[in-house]
Chain A
Amino acid sequence: MPLEPFKSAEALTMGVELELQLVNPADFDLSASASDMLHLLGRGRFPGDVKPEMTESMIEVSTDVHVRHAALLAQLEQMRDALVAAGDRLNVALCGGGTHPFQRWFHQRIFARPRFHELSTLYGYLAKQFTVFGQHVHIGCGSADEALFLLHALNRYLPHFIALSASSPFFQGVDTLFDSARLNSVFAFPLSGRAPFLLKWEDFERDYFAKMEKTGVVKSMKDFYWDIRPKPEYGTIELRVCDTPLTVARAAALACYLQALCRMLLECADAPPAEDDYLVYNYNRFQACRFGLDGTLVHPKSNEPLSLREDILATLRRLEPHAAALESRAALEEIYRVAAGEGNHAGFLRRQHAEEGGIEGVVDAAVRCFREEVRT
């Protein structure tokens, strides 16, 4: 199957996908309830899109295409309310968070769909270990070349999104000491990581995709698990490094941070991206996963060390005019609060663990957060 043509979208539109955890409120373990939830949600009008994911204990929801923060947040809240109501009828709790703190991957049940079973056979335990939960943000691009430019121009900002969204400190029952343990699971896949440095869509198609397809390793863009990947059928780039935050408000804020950042980059505010930027890419990515906002980055152009937190705060100042133009000030204020004071959701979950004394209490807190019964 050749690469499909890149469909042009309205620039700087955005859409959000959230992978959510389905939890049994009795023991707080994952609950294999996706089919039941989908059945019930399918009977009413769901304010968005909802579909199954790899295992029976996760569900994926996605918003329509949005231009403004307020509308995006409103839809996310409606979707959240519909999900919570359906969950209440079925005794299923929902929550965000990049990992479930203590589920055992070998207990997960693969959702009954041919593609999922194929993947499960191919990747074996990796597929089940992939019971991790991410937020994907799509940004519309006017052209394919613009998409590739944005994809690479964003490389230096990628750690921001990892650190801001990180909500997976616990995995398989222990504190991993990472803020985002989820990305370690993603990294195990052979086609994960960064996209090749090609800035023209025809080059990408001819010199990379066609060759890769000929090797038989991939069939479509779906087979790449890159941190950011182009999505030709939507005309978007898709940022995939975020953990699913504990609240939909945080999810909307992260999407708008990306939107504003793209607007700034399209005005060529930074020096153009280069292959050498990627020399420090994996190191910076690790710093963000491991230390969250306390990480230290190496600037890809100047090679000077930067505090991740300071870098986000500096970026927020540069984004002010763009936020004003995009009417997303409220979103960036939330990002500011995270970076300047209250910290990410990984920190919140660790505090809950310390206070509650049990790993189940962490899930309980995440569930209540999703329902907005507690503030993070």
Chain B
Amino acid sequence: MTETLMGVLGQIAWPLALAVAWLAGEFGHRWLALPRISSYGIAGFAMAASQGGFLPDPAGGPVALLADVAFSLILFELGYRINLGWLRANPWLLVTGIAEAYLTFYVVFLIAQALFVPLLPALLLSALAMSTSPAAVIRVVNESRSSGQVTERTLHLSAFNCVLALVAFKAVVGYGVLFSAGSIFQAVWSSLVVVLVSAGLGALFGAVVPGLLRFLGGLARNATVVFALAVLLLTALTDALNFSPLLAALAFGVVARQRRVVLSQVQRNFGALGDLLTVLLFVFVGATLDWRQAFTGVQLACAVVLGRMLVKTLATTLFARLSGVTWRKGMLTGLAMTPLSAFAILLLEQTRYLKLDLLDEVAGVMAVILLLEVLGPLMTRWALVWAGETQRREEA
């Protein structure tokens, strides 16, 4: 009897977890004013097997691929909102982006070294810390319907630092491969080639799909489904070839945007499909974390999270006036860029095939991610509210 029950439970584990997480998201939003994705993550973490829950470790399974798809959709949407012309018109924004990303790398590396993290994991951790998770940012922005400079800058800078982080991460991986396997070919393949081919594939999709849409006509009706299908295909393709679905999806979005076939309003988040996959994505991220690992690295985590937040805020504040906003909005942009989790987890997930296992040694990484899982979206939300860029409640 118990066995049957456990068998059934095992089969419905994921759908059940999604339903529970969704409920947690709604209640957390209503009662505690938590961004929904924070609750999804906490729920996923709580239900994971490593915490004594019923969710098996999803790493490497089909759920991981679905999470990739969810994240790719978000990255595509982010790419679609990126205006490359803005960087030309306002070069200080570009400077801000480069400064905050590389300073973060440097400071986190110093912290890790100071806390006796070995070289290679310290480099990987620093590369991860550069990024701002676009999933959290774009979900919070859409959820609070915010609009203004902090919103726009956070979106642009996070797209920017994701690319920089990804390149840095792949470079470190390449270095690691060279170090452990001694093969230059494999090292170049797993860094340079992966980055270039992934971006190239994305750009190719970005050039072809809008053309196809124009050819088909009736844009408003078809665009969402066509883009979603293309993202799905692109993700599966890059994943099968062990390229980077993240970079490909972002490049797809950016290039498609330049070809100007506009997504209309109703298609934000890719509608209900995007909402559902987001629940899955954040439950997945939460479920990959193990509290024992997290707990042992708590000291490193606190130092990294704090250092990262300070550096990002410092950089965005420093260049605020030069790039045309108030000091205050500059500072809030830095705060809004706190989230990290989903991007980091998926990036780690995608290097699993290399069997480097470097980061599993560093307990602190998991703790950083867990801490930012809750804190990140909250900081983004608060920053947007403090900047006065969200819809005020009485008017909603």
Chain B residues contacting A39 (CB-CB under 8 Å) are: 325-326
Contact A358 B83 (CB under 8 A): no
**Closest Cβ of chain A: how far from B135's Cβ, in Å?**
18
Residues 234-272 of B, flagged 1 when their CB comes within 8 A of A and 0 if not, give: 000000000000000000000001001011110000000
- Complex CA–CA separation, A36 to B90 (angstroms): 15
Number of interface residues of A (CB under 8 A): 32
Question: What is the distance, in angstroms, from B196's C-beta to the closest C-beta of chain A?
Answer: 27
Answer yes or no: A165 CB below 8 A from chain B CBs: no
Interface string of A350-370 (1 = CB under 8 A from B): 000000011111001000000
Of A6-14, A105-113, A306-314, the stretch lying at the interface with chain B is: A105-113
Per the bound structure, the CA–CA distance linking A36 and B145 in Å amounts to 17
Q: A40-B325, A109-B391 are in contact. Are A32 and B260 (CB under 8 A)?
A: no
Q: CB distance B395 to A110 under 8 Å?
A: yes
* Interface contact B388-A89, CB-CB below 8 Å: no
Residue A267 CB within 8 A of the other chain: no
How many angstroms between the C-alpha atoms of A110 and B80 in the bound complex? 28
Selecting from B22-30, B147-155, B186-194, B345-353, the interface stretch reads: B147-155
Chain A neighbourhood of B218, CB < 8 A = 357
Given contacts A91-B86, A109-B395, A110-B395, contact A28 B262 (CB under 8 A): yes
The answer to whether B262 touches A360, judged by C-beta atoms less than 8 angstroms apart, is yes
Report whether A107 and B391 are in contact in the complex, using a CB–CB cutoff of 8 Å.
Answer: yes
The answer to whether A91 and B152 touch across the interface, beta carbons within 8 angstroms, is yes
A88 touching B81 in the complex, CB below 8 Å, given contacts A109-B392, A109-B395, A361-B262:
no
Measured CA separation A91–B81 after assembly (Å): 11
In the bound complex, residues from chain B placing their C-beta under 8 Å from that of A185 are: none
* Inter-chain contact A26/B81, CB cutoff 8 Å: yes
Interface string of B55-84 (1 = CB under 8 A from A): 000000000000000000000000011110
Question: In the complex the two chains form, is B388's CB within 8 Å of A36's CB?
Answer: no
Tell whether, in the assembled complex, residue B260 and residue A364 are in contact, meaning their CB atoms are under 8 Å apart.
yes
Is B147 in contact with A36, judged by CB distance below 8 angstroms?
Answer: no
- B7 at interface, CB cutoff 8 A: no
* The residue from A28, A36, A359 contacting B148, defined by CB atoms under 8 A apart: A36
B219 touches A358 (CB 8 A): yes
- Does A276 sit at the interface, judged by CB under 8 A? no
Q: Which of B342-396 contact A (CB under 8 A)?
A: 388-389, 391-392, 395
State the CA gap A35–B389 with chains docked (Å): 10
> How long is the Cα–Cα vector from A19 to B138 in the complex, in angstroms?
31
B119 at the interface (CB under 8 A from A): no
Q: Which A residues lie at the B interface, using CB under 8 A?
A: 24-29, 31-33, 35-36, 39-40, 56, 86, 88-91, 102, 104, 107, 109-110, 112, 120, 357-361, 364
Is there contact, CB below 8 Å, between A90 and B324?
yes
B219–A357 CB distance below 8 A: yes
Q: List 9 A-B contacts (CB under 8 A).
A: A27-B81, A32-B148, A33-B147, A33-B149, A35-B388, A88-B85, A91-B83, A109-B395, A364-B260
- Contact-residue bracket for chain B: 20 to 34
Closest chain A residue to B218 by CB distance? A357
Distance in Å: Cβ of B160 to nearest Cβ of chain A: 13
Kindly supply a per-residue 1/0 record for chain B positions 218-241, scoring 1 wherever the CB is within 8 Å of any chain A CB and 0 otherwise.
111000000000000000000000
Please tell me if the beta carbons of A25 and B83 are within 8 angstroms of each other in the complex: yes
CA distance A28 to B90 in the complex (A): 20
B82 → chain A, closest Cβ, in Å?
8
Q: Is the CB of A26 within 8 A of B257?
A: yes
B329 at the interface (CB under 8 A from A): yes
Give complex CA distance A357, B257 in Å: 17
- Find the A residue at minimum CB distance from B90: A89
Closest CB pairs A-B (n = 8): A360-B262, A88-B89, A26-B81, A89-B324, A32-B147, A91-B86, A36-B149, A89-B90
Verify if B217 is at the interface (C-beta below 8 Å from A): yes
Residues of chain A within 8 A of B86, CB atoms compared: 88, 91
A134, B257: Cα distance in complex, Å: 31
B147 and A89 contacting across the interface, CB-CB below 8 Å:
no
Given contacts A35-B388, A89-B89, A109-B391, contact A27 B262 (CB under 8 A): yes
In the complex, what's the smallest C-beta–C-beta distance from B221 to chain A, in angstroms? 11
Q: How far is the CA of A161 from the CA of B82 in the complex (A)?
A: 39
A357–B217 contact, CB under 8 A? yes
Q: Which B residues lie within 8 Å of A91 (CB)?
A: 83, 86, 90, 152, 156
CA distance A131 to B359 in the complex (A): 53
